Structure 1
């Protein structure tokens, strides 16, 4: 991450440290403070600020609206972790593990309310901002439900999977960029082009996340490497492997998919070896790069000086090359 991007992350983190969510009962608010203290890349609020800075310089005045997106994102993570029965988030206990599921649900609900509190202080077209935020939030929920539905389906097409990650992950990155543009009073076409840029890099971002789940360094990743393989999660990697496997590879892969009693590390290594035989790493990288390229094409449509776009290009490059 470049120094300029890191400065924005530092500014966001400083404001998050100051943010008050509530005081009593502690059992309700401590989990919120806990999950927000776990860090993270702060991708979404950075995107809000970068989009704003394409058109205006005084980004300090919209920090709280940028943070609203981060609070909402962490609300979704808190609830997703319950549904996924995830033990770790950013290398630490998930909220439902540290407290309990009921507390995690209720604390997450308060985070959603707080996100609205921060958004409604916007000095722009508040009605349109809230409408777009609601559309985005509903899309995230639709994507999560699709992801859960996929668990019970025998097969999922590549198009279905891409649409799911578009909703579950990418639309929030798109909204973050559009929000920054709207807060800067950009034109509708400029805001929409930034939205498309965000959705495309968001799909690329999730494909990279799928890849890292299998190939990342555990010490850097913060989550369990191979978790998707252990849980038979229908990722792009698994779907392409099932599509392209020869008879021998298909037999071995399906054998692991249908085993209920296995050594997790052995399964991860065995499935990873099948992926390597098929060339899944390279295929996933190619698909990821296709979406990043589409994003760059959308960004090129915005008629601002190229030096103003450079931080967004640097940010996309960071997403492409990240290792955690």
Structure 2
């Protein structure tokens, strides 16, 4: 016998149509360097559960209604159910990590360090809402923690489980951190340029909540007065119209291409870390290019 109040939403989350990029990255590195397959599987499942835990709670905080092509947990049930489900998912992630046999203490320490960094990034994300003084540098710090550290963990775990030396493990973490920054920049771009069906999640909540995104910060820093004047006008519009006006401004004033170039810069930084490996990991090059060119 088990409590349906807990496990029904946990299973519901696991059935969502996500990209599974994080466990794929764990498996890529593990396979390349000969890590134990069972360890790789447990670690890959653990990071996916960790990711899902952060999303369930993030969706409550941002009041999003769609995630991975289905209703968010707090919309399908309620917030109390979602909070408990998130807690349960995180506990399962820890249990999966406890099964790892190769360098277990180092692996669990890295896992928990990354979890704390994600929480710090989420805290910055909330603190920065409606704060027009947030600079691009502060934004990068925020997304490095919120998104970069978890992707960095995925690459790092592969190195830990394969018992690589600490220098190479650090390179893998840096690869993932830079890849994660590029991923979040691309996510900000898609929030404005894509649609809810392709993305599999609700769009517009970032705009409505006054989130600081790469596009809004770049537009504000490049066209301070012009952006502020338009932003004030758009504030009276509904979210869809506001997003349309923002997209038009961003495309017409070169902000979109600036943001895309910034994402490419971080992909290049990620690739620089791979130069230190001999032979280089071609699969990771292809993986990062896929992240850069994704449409959802």
TM-score, normalised via structure 1 length:
0.87
For structure 2, the residue ranges without an aligned partner over 5 or more in a row are none
Structure 2 residue 177 is matched with structure 1 residue 199: yes
Instruction: Name the structure 1 match of 2:263.
Output: 288
Distance in 2, Cα, partners of 1:99 & 1:106 = 11
Kindly report which structure 2 residues correspond to 1:251-270, keeping only aligned pairs within 5 A, or say none.
251-257=229-235, 259=236, 262-270=237-245
CA shift, 1:57, in A, is 6.7
CA shift, 1:222, in A, is 1.4
Structure 2 residue 91 is matched with structure 1 residue 113: yes
Q: Deviations over 1:6-49 (max 9, x none)?
A: xxxxxxxxxxxxxxxxx611011110100110021111111111
Kindly report which structure 2 residues correspond to 1:18-97, keeping only aligned pairs within 5 A, or say none.
24-56=2-34, 59-97=37-75
CA shift, 1:218, in A, is 3.8
Residues 66, 202 of structure 2: 8 Å contact kept? yes
What root-mean-square deviation, in Å, do the aligned CA atoms of Structure 1 and Structure 2 show? 1.6
TM-score, normalised via structure 2 length:
0.95
Instruction: Name the structure 2 match of 1:244.
Output: 222
Structure 2 residue 283 is matched with structure 1 residue 311: yes
Residues 165, 206 of structure 1: 8 Å contact kept? yes
Q: Which of the numbers 244, 266, 274 marks the counterpart of 1:299?
A: 274
For structure 1, the residue ranges without an aligned partner over 5 or more in a row are 1-22
Instruction: Name the structure 1 match of 2:103.
Output: 125
Count of aligned residue pairs for this structure pair: 296
Q: Which piece of structure 1 moves more, 310-319 or 248-257?
A: 248-257
Query: Are the structure 2 counterparts of residues 249 and 141 from structure 1 closer, same or farther at C-alpha, using a change threshold of 3 Å?
Result: closer
Instruction: Name the structure 1 match of 2:142.
Output: 164
Query: Are the structure 2 counterparts of residues 173 and 115 from structure 1 closer, same or farther at C-alpha, using a change threshold of 3 Å?
Result: same
CA shift, 1:223, in A, is 2.1
Distance in 2, Cα, partners of 1:42 & 1:166 = 19
